[in-house]
Structure 1
């Protein structure tokens, strides 16, 4: 029993955030329930982002009813590659990524050949709510397939790597690069076997990696080092993440972004309940950083001061650089 308490005490001293603390002290405190639809529904998120001038993957079409499923062929007729997503899906479930056409059929990013009927069947499953939060009826969106920047070729297996940045009240507090693997079927989802790699908020340089909750140094499929990679346009990414506070109004979020080789940084989605594995990848606790932001916010409030996106990013980069110790 004492050993368990000692372990808990050590985790607490390092500022490791657990699910209960995340939910009680951050999700419930900073995220107003009436604003959840703006992040839980990818279509609403995309439409709101476009209105705010924030770059997102182009939307080719929306399918809302069984009758509209027949519109799929027309929607994708001008595109050899595209992505089908449930609007209210979570964890990457229900997503189909089409990379090419083959003899009247479609080829997924993993090389599997699927028919048009199979895609329509998948759309039907999406509409019934098979992949949605809470099982409610859903909509499907068909959108541009991101072409990852070549820099990721040596440390990613198929699919598209993405970047998750946790943001508290507009202040970036921690970042992670998620790399697809063979086990994750080319998806950048940690629960399905993708790799999480910590990222230095100040420089955009990758740190340690975590795979299946274990610390790793090399990608299991490419055998290349996952640390020491400089992410291009890092300032663009971190500014984009910070600006999502104004976009959705939620105070505690995880912003998922990708780097397209032609279009640059793009927002994929915003998560109101971001996972906690990012702490393993960064070898530090979220609470150390969130407490620092909350102290800073209290000081600003006392002086009746509000900071811009650029000022918030500057604070985060000055206080949460990988080489700097952070205290509660």
Structure 2
């Protein structure tokens, strides 16, 4: 009993955020439920991002009912690469990534498996029934641009596309993590399925140590290359994209998932209103310590009569205060 209390006090002293604190003090306090549809539906998120002129993967089309599945060939056109995903899916389930066209009737998935048009249509039908959606509700299928991962990740990722998660509080980036697919995760950047979470220094965009299956690691288990010390290109671009998602979502506490495309640069994939806490392990730092600093800054701005800072000012604040070397 005393050991548990001692551990709890030690974690609290380091500013580590627990799930109860996250839910009560951040999700409930800063996220108005009326705006959840802005982030729970990827199509709505994409449409709002376009209004704010924020970069997202191009949307080729949407299928909302079984009767619209017949329009799939028209939506795909001559494209040999595309992604089909549920609008309200979670955890990467239900996503079909097509990497090439094999012949007139078959395509090749990113894993190399051949799949027929009929099988693709069946997958879309499953999406529409709500098989992959939150709460099992009927859903829509989104067909969009297939991201080509930047070559910088080739040595530290197994297939798939790595993504970057940035936690944002009231428009201020507070913590970042790079998620790297592994053989165990099936090429998906999903920590619960076996992907690696690598901390990223907010100030520099340089990767730190990683966490894999709740263990601290320094090398990728499949490529055997170091995951730390990698300088992510266009880091300020990522920070500004994530910061701008505060206005897009109208939610105060969010996790922004982004990718680095070889040609198009940083792109927003989705926004999460209930971001997980494993990011703290990857950064060896507590979220609460950083969110408290943002809240204090907001109080100081209010006292000075400043309603809100610009995106660049918010990014500058976060880079100054949340340097990996800064322990407060």
With the shorter chain as reference, the TM-score category is over 0.9
SS at match of 2:186: coil
Across the aligned residues of Structure 1 and Structure 2, the Cα RMSD in angstroms comes to 0.8
- 1:316, 1:3 → 2: CA distance? 35
Matched, 1:15 2:15: yes
Displacement after TM superposition at 1:77 (Å): 2.3
Displacement after TM superposition at 1:9 (Å): 1.3
- 1:178, 1:229 → 2: CA distance? 13
How many residue pairs end up in the alignment? 326
- 1:131, 1:204 → 2: CA distance? 33
Displacement after TM superposition at 1:251 (Å): 0.2
Displacement after TM superposition at 1:324 (Å): 1.1
- 2:26, 2:281 → 1: CA distance? 19
Q: TM-score, normalised by structure 2?
A: 0.98
Where has structure 1 moved over 3 Å in runs of 4 or more?
A: none
Q: TM-score, normalised by structure 1?
A: 0.98
Structure 1 stretches lacking a partner, 5+ long: none
Q: Which residue of 1 aligns with 2:268?
A: 267
- 1:5, 1:110 → 2: CA distance? 47
Q: Which residue of 2 aligns with 1:226?
A: 227
Work out whether residues 109 and 186 of structure 1, in 8 Å CA contact, stay in contact via their aligned partners in 2.
no
- 1:8, 1:111 → 2: CA distance? 47
Equivalences for 1:162-177 in 2 at 5 Å? 162-177=163-178
- 2:2, 2:117 → 1: CA distance? 60
Bigger mean CA offset, 74-83 vs 55-64: 74-83
Structure 2 stretches lacking a partner, 5+ long: none
Displacement after TM superposition at 1:295 (Å): 0.6
Q: Which residue of 2 aligns with 1:81?
A: 81
Displacement after TM superposition at 1:232 (Å): 0.2
Work out whether residues 84 and 95 of structure 1, in 8 Å CA contact, stay in contact via their aligned partners in 2.
yes
- 1:102, 1:216 → 2: CA distance? 39
Deviations 1:243-294 (A, max 9, x none): 1111111000000111111111111010000011100000011000000000
Displacement after TM superposition at 1:322 (Å): 0.5
SS at match of 1:25: helix
Q: Which residue of 2 aligns with 1:208?
A: 209
SS at match of 1:284: coil
Bigger mean CA offset, 73-82 vs 59-68: 73-82
Work out whether residues 181 and 187 of structure 1, in 8 Å CA contact, stay in contact via their aligned partners in 2.
yes
Work out whether residues 209 and 226 of structure 1, in 8 Å CA contact, stay in contact via their aligned partners in 2.
yes
Q: Which residue of 2 aligns with 1:291?
A: 292
Displacement after TM superposition at 1:168 (Å): 0.1
- 2:230, 2:314 → 1: CA distance? 25
- 1:325, 1:8 → 2: CA distance? 19
Q: Which residue of 2 aligns with 1:315?
A: 317
Q: Which residue of 1 aligns with 2:56?
A: 56
- 1:253, 1:41 → 2: CA distance? 14
- 2:23, 2:312 → 1: CA distance? 28
Q: Which residue of 2 aligns with 1:69?
A: 69
- 2:201, 2:23 → 1: CA distance? 25
Displacement after TM superposition at 1:115 (Å): 1.5
SS at match of 1:93: coil
- 1:138, 1:301 → 2: CA distance? 42
- 2:41, 2:280 → 1: CA distance? 26
- 1:99, 1:71 → 2: CA distance? 20
Equivalences for 1:1-328 in 2 at 5 Å? 1-103=1-103, 104-305=105-306, 306-326=308-328
